[in-house]
Amino acid sequence: MGKIVQKAILENAYDIGAAKEGYIAPEKIRSMEVDFLVDAGVAMICLPVDKIRMLGLKERSKRDVVTATGVVERMIYSPVQIRIFDREAELNVMELPEGIPPLLGYLALESLDLYPNPHKQILEGNPKYDGKMVMDLL
């Protein structure tokens, strides 16, 4: 098995709302393309602090998280809209120290109905529905 790296577009969700309400021009929405390391053992979208600053995300709360080096406190930030393929979801972001690659966790994968295929080293749509995005409400 190998690692899966997935490109995604991130946009500041608050900026999207402000643009829809006419408070900012659509071209002012802060966004970036990110190469994520897919990690189904991680819960959230995790970004290094420098990328969080570039997106203009706001601090929301602190959480204790379990890492390879023990329990540490991490900041949770306001949501981004993440887009992979033709799928989008709005999710909060957890900080990572600078120098750590962005991580795409299982909450994003479930929200986007994407599944890791470790043999092909890619993300795929749900095979149960022939790759079509179907939300699970049960």
Q: What b/e string do you get for 80-116 counting C-beta neighbours within 10 Å, with b at 16 or more?
A: bbbbbeeeebebbbbbbeeeeebbbbeebbebbbbbb
Residue whose token pair is 């021009």? 25
Q: What is the pTM assigned to this prediction?
A: 0.90
Q: Tell me which architecture the domain covering 5-118 has in CATH.
A: Beta Barrel (2.40)
Domain ranges of the chain: 5-118
Give pLDDT tens digits for 47-91: 999 999 999 999 999 999 888 889 999 999 999 999 999 999 999
By C-alpha distance, which of 36, 98, 104, 46 is closest to 75?
A: 46
With a pLDDT cut of 70, the percent of the chain lying above it is 99
